[in-house]
Chains A and B, each alone.
Chain A
């Protein structure tokens, strides 16, 4: 079975402070990991995927297979980063995608 755990329901940080949204997963094979973001009154959208190893809007995420984690990080939080963030895992082959319960990021001005 595959599982995604986001331990924090709410994370509040001040503008300019570093951000780390935690994501831990459970999967026996080699997963694909994703971060999705949902801004207020907007639809859920893909933020980044571990395969691309890209930085989007200043956010990065590194897959740590030893710790089975895929934490989302940004060195300096901006007010526009306030949103709901979901970590998602897709197993190999035709496995479905499993989403975590989400973390609400609140950036305080």
Chain B
């Protein structure tokens, strides 16, 4: 699959725990974006990386962090999880540094119990 891939598809964990979500961008895309989708808040931009460097930050909590590796895959780390962190987390990628045309992954559904 040459599209954006995300693992795992589903994640169920307990409050206080830490999880890592993984994203592989489309072949050739240098930008990776992370979004959180919840029922009441829609799609919220969290953070963006371009070619390994953090380039933009949105409404990302201090308990959350991300990085992009030399092979361009990215990981989103969520720690000290709370019930309210339950959501769908999407990764998207684009060729350009800042593009409105983004290609989305299937998402990771995180459930915090």
Residues in A neighbouring B42, C-beta threshold 8 A = 86, 99-102
Question: Is A49 positioned at the interface, with any CB of B under 8 Å from its CB?
Answer: yes
What is the interface residue range for chain B against chain A?
20 to 34
Question: Is B106 positioned at the interface, with any CB of A under 8 Å from its CB?
Answer: yes
Residues in A neighbouring B55, C-beta threshold 8 A = 94
Question: Is B7 positioned at the interface, with any CB of A under 8 Å from its CB?
Answer: no
Establish whether residues A95 and B43, one from each chain, have CB atoms under 8 Å apart when the complex forms: no
Complex-state Cα separation, A93 to B55, whole angstroms: 13
Closest A residue to B50 by beta carbon equals A94
Question: Is A79 positioned at the interface, with any CB of B under 8 Å from its CB?
Answer: no
Establish whether residues B97 and A34, one from each chain, have CB atoms under 8 Å apart when the complex forms: no
Establish whether residues B58 and A45, one from each chain, have CB atoms under 8 Å apart when the complex forms: no
Main secondary structure of the interface of A (DSSP, over half): strand
Establish whether residues A43 and B101, one from each chain, have CB atoms under 8 Å apart when the complex forms: no
A and B contact pairs by CB, cutoff 8 A, 22 listed: A32-B100, A33-B100, A34-B100, A43-B90, A43-B105, A43-B106, A45-B103, A46-B101, A46-B102, A90-B98, A93-B98, A94-B55, A94-B97, A95-B98, A96-B48, A96-B56, A96-B58, A97-B45, A99-B35, A99-B43, A99-B44, A102-B42
Name B residues whose Cβ lies closer than 8 Å to a Cβ of A: 4, 33, 35, 41-45, 48, 55-56, 58, 90, 92, 97-107
